[in-house]
Amino acid sequence: MDPRLYRSAKSGDIYFLKQLLNDNPSLLYQLTPRENTSLHIAVQFGDSNVVAEIYSRCRSLLTQQNLDGDTPLHVAARVGCFSIFNDLVREILSMSQEDFRNANDGMFETLRMGNKGKNTVLHEAVRNGHIKLVQFLLTIDPKLASIENDAASLHCTWLQEEECLRF
């Protein structure tokens, strides 16, 4: 990723970001070595103006996964900035079916998407103690509560082994 793009996404320098992207829009498609997009970086460092500027120029970044399978929503759920998280969710839910890479996916599939640990955005919000995000997500998509991650699967396997040992 171009270091100028990384710095402006991290620092929140919206004016420099706009100038940089006006001069070279293709920079938005560059990735860090961990395959983070500029949107992942902006979300991590929490500037809502920069976040909005980036996704307004390239909506496909809203659903792009990094090397760990995290979308920008996973990052937002981990960080816990409700206003940015709310903006991203609202934008994703407003996207039409054609905006998604896989036309068979519904608009809730992005919320239910798991990373490499099979963690959804709900798992990340719970794990990091962001109760307001958890309540918000369960209001929007109650089915999120029924999705298991690797930790739940391991726990269930352990419980099954304990059950077997009793008999």
pLDDT tens column, 2-44: 999 999 999 999 999 999 999 999 999 999 999 999 999 999 9
Query: Closest Cα partner for 134 from 84, 78, 52?
Result: 78
Per-residue pLDDT of 118-137, as tens digits, reads 999 999 999 999 999 999 99
If you search the block for the tokens 């992005």, which residue do you land on? 110
Burial class (CB in 10 A: 0-12, 13-18, 19+), 158: exposed
Q: Give the model's pLDDT for residue 98.
A: 52
Q: How many CB atoms lie within 10 A of CB 16?
A: 14
- Does position 165 have pLDDT exceeding 90, yes or no? no
Classify domain 3-166 by CATH architecture: Alpha Horseshoe (1.25)
pTM above 0.85, yes or no: no
Pairwise CA distance, residues 121 & 147, whole Å: 11
